[in-house]
Amino acid sequence: MSLPPKTERSRSIRTTLLLWLLPFATLFMLLAWYLHGALLDRMSRDFVEERLQQEVAMIEQQLTSRDGLQTLDSSYFGALSHHLFAIRFGAQTQLSHPQWSAMLQPWLDLPAQGLIELQGTPDDENSTHRYMAWRAEREISGTPVTIVAAEDYSRLQAGTHELHLWTAAVAIGLLVVLFALILLAVQLSMRPVRQLQQDLQALKQGKLQRLSDAVPQEFSGLIAQLNQLLDTLQHRLQKVREANANLSHRIKTPIAAINQLVSSSQPITPEARSQISQRLEDISRQLDSSLHASQSGGPLAGASCLPLEQTRELLWMLGRLHTSVEFELDCTLPDNTRWPIDEQDFSELLGNLADNAGKWAHSRVRVSLSENGRQRVLVVEDDGPGVPAQEREQLGTRGWRLDQQMPGHGLGLAIVRDLAARYQGTIQFEASELGGLSARLQLQIRQG
């Protein structure tokens, strides 16, 4: 059996940033150090060249204004002792360091002019030095003149090299600081990612309902989409829970009525058997209707019901369930009157209101059906204790119950409110003429 291929783990953002930033920072510092050395050498050469040109010009001026080489004695060269000079004026030669004649004399015979680089070893030393020299050939008062002014570039180069090394030490220090700053910046930039991981973990554990939107701009779109997804899932979960609760509540009353008929000590008559069969069909239709509603998301188009016939059947069933309560029907509508309401929705509306009234009534419940203009009106009243005016607004709130001792789950009136909203209807709770509570349901006629 072959093993599944291993999934290649992608590199972390922190590692990617460090692999890019640290080498680039090192390369940048190396390039800066190299450019510093090149610029330092170029500046040194330009500085030496300018000084040598100036001193050659001064010597030419001296030779022009005075009498030959006699004016260029040792005291003059002593003032410029940091330079080497070799001068040929006609047949005469003057050297700034006569003891180094073996090195200086050949410089006068070189063919090149301008700035030249020379190698030489002074007679009293063993090491070879590097010299930068300016060589010029002139004619003064008809006499050919050759002037060579040189400077020991090795000493200047040693100084610049030491400065360059100190610059390298400073650059290494700056590179260390830069590394630390890069690590700190990466660490700080990854803080929102760590916070997002913590929020996701808290969300998984149920400690959070939504992700915090206090994130950098780069993460705001992602967080908004995740929160939108969470809201959608929460909304769908709530709808599923409500649908399950509604379905449970819908079939509870028919099951209770069947149980009442079956558990009764009286024999089951054909009429009772017919009612049991009809209640089971009601349960089946309730399940089908709930399934269809979950798929379509609303009432059936073109559905209608016979309100008077359904009301009689429901009141008969509730009369078997609440044996101490008399259910009355007050209606002047013709028997063939149709309302544009789904049969299961109408049974749910009336069944919940009448069942709730039967639980609280002392002995009497009255149901009224009427048409008022473009509205269908359903009124259910009881002679029970009623509900204080300040608590009537809470009726129909999902899960809220007036009396925790009364059997039920607090869903009946909530289901009525939801169904009424589907038909652009309203429900009002008022004091009843019978002494208890009056529930007035008004359903809007849909114009086709």
Q: Is the pLDDT of residue 299 over 70?
A: no
335 and 361 part of one domain: yes
44 and 167 part of one domain: yes
Give the model's confidence band at 404: pLDDT under 50 very low, under 70 low, under 90 confident, else very high: very low
Question: Residue range 435-439: average pLDDT?
Answer: 91
Indicate the DSSP class of residue 116: E
151 and 285 part of one domain: no
Instruction: Flag whether 158 is in a domain.
Output: yes
Three-state DSSP class for residue 8:
coil
What φ, ψ does residue 327 adopt, rounded to 5°? -100, 125
DSSP per-residue letters across 122-141: -TT-SS-EEEEEEEEEEEET
Q: In sequence order, what are the residues at sequence separation of 6 or more whose Cβ sits closer than 8 angstroms to the Cβ of residue 105? A: 86, 93, 95
* Model pTM above 0.85: no
> Alpha helix locations (H) across 140-216?
153-189, 191-204
Q: Is the pLDDT of residue 153 over 50?
A: yes
Three-state DSSP class for residue 393:
helix
Give me the CATH number covering residue 422. Answer: 3.30.565.10
Percent of the chain surpassing pLDDT 70: 79
Give the model's confidence band at 115: pLDDT under 50 very low, under 70 low, under 90 confident, else very high: confident
85 and 215 part of one domain: no
Contact 160, 41 (CB under 8 A): yes
Show which of 172, 188, 221 is a domain's final residue.
172
Indicate the DSSP class of residue 237: H
Check residues 266 and 2 and name the one with the higher pLDDT. Answer: 266
Question: Residue range 400-428: average pLDDT?
Answer: 68
94 and 164 part of one domain: yes
Q: Is the pLDDT of residue 267 over 80?
A: no
What is the dihedral sign for C-alpha 375, 309, 320, 273? negative
What pLDDT does residue 408 have? Answer: 42
Which range among 64-73, 81-90, 138-147, 273-282 has the greatest average pLDDT?
138-147
Show which of 242, 271, 297 is a domain's final residue.
297
Instruction: Flag whether 4 is in a domain.
Output: no
Of 23-32, 276-285, 385-394, the one with minimum mean pLDDT is 276-285
Indicate the DSSP class of residue 145: E
49 and 167 part of one domain: yes
Q: pLDDT (tens digit, 9 = 90+) per residue, 119-147?
A: 877 766 777 888 888 888 888 878 888 88
What pLDDT does residue 249 have? Answer: 65
What pLDDT does residue 407 have? Answer: 44
Strand order through the sheet with 114-120:
92-95, 84-89, 143-152, 129-140, 114-120
Contact 174, 29 (CB under 8 A): yes
Which range among 135-144, 205-214, 264-273, 301-310 has the greatest average pLDDT?
135-144
Q: Are strands 364-372 and 326-331 parallel, antiparallel or unpaired?
A: parallel
Instruction: Flag whether 179 is in a domain.
Output: no
What pLDDT does residue 78 have? Answer: 54
Contact 209, 234 (CB under 8 A): yes
Instruction: Flag whether 189 is in a domain.
Output: no
Determine the Cα–Cα distance for residues 94 and 101; give it in Å rounded to an integer: 10
48 and 151 part of one domain: yes
What is the tally of structural domains in the chain? 3
380 and 429 part of one domain: yes
DSSP per-residue letters across 242-292: HHHHHHHHHHHHHHHHHHHHHHSSS---HHHHHHHHHHHHHHHHHHHHHHH
The tally of CA atoms less than 13 A away on the side-chain side of residue 11 is 8
Question: Residue range 397-423: average pLDDT?
Answer: 63
Determine the Cα–Cα distance for residues 184 and 180; give it in Å rounded to an integer: 6
Check residues 414 and 401 and name the one with the higher pLDDT. Answer: 414
Of 40-49, 105-114, 236-245, the one with minimum mean pLDDT is 236-245
Q: Is the pLDDT of residue 114 over 80?
A: yes
Check residues 66 and 252 and name the one with the higher pLDDT. Answer: 252
Give me the CATH number covering residue 123. Answer: 3.30.450
293 and 306 part of one domain: no
Instruction: Flag whether 2 is in a domain.
Output: no
116 and 53 part of one domain: yes
21 and 163 part of one domain: yes
334 and 397 part of one domain: yes
Range of the domain at 49: 15-172
Instruction: Flag whether 323 is in a domain.
Output: yes
Instruction: Flag whether 9 is in a domain.
Output: no
What pLDDT does residue 71 have? Answer: 56
Question: Residue range 70-79: average pLDDT?
Answer: 57
Contact 342, 303 (CB under 8 A): yes
Q: Is the pLDDT of residue 106 over 70?
A: yes
Percent of the chain surpassing pLDDT 90: 8
Give the model's confidence band at 379: pLDDT under 50 very low, under 70 low, under 90 confident, else very high: very high
Instruction: Flag whether 8 is in a domain.
Output: no
Show which of 297, 329, 355 is a domain's final residue.
297
In order of 7, 20, 35, 170, 375, the CA distances from 29 in angstroms are: 38, 15, 10, 10, 84
DSSP per-residue letters across 357-376: HHHH-SSEEEEEEEEETTEE
What pLDDT does residue 381 have? Answer: 93
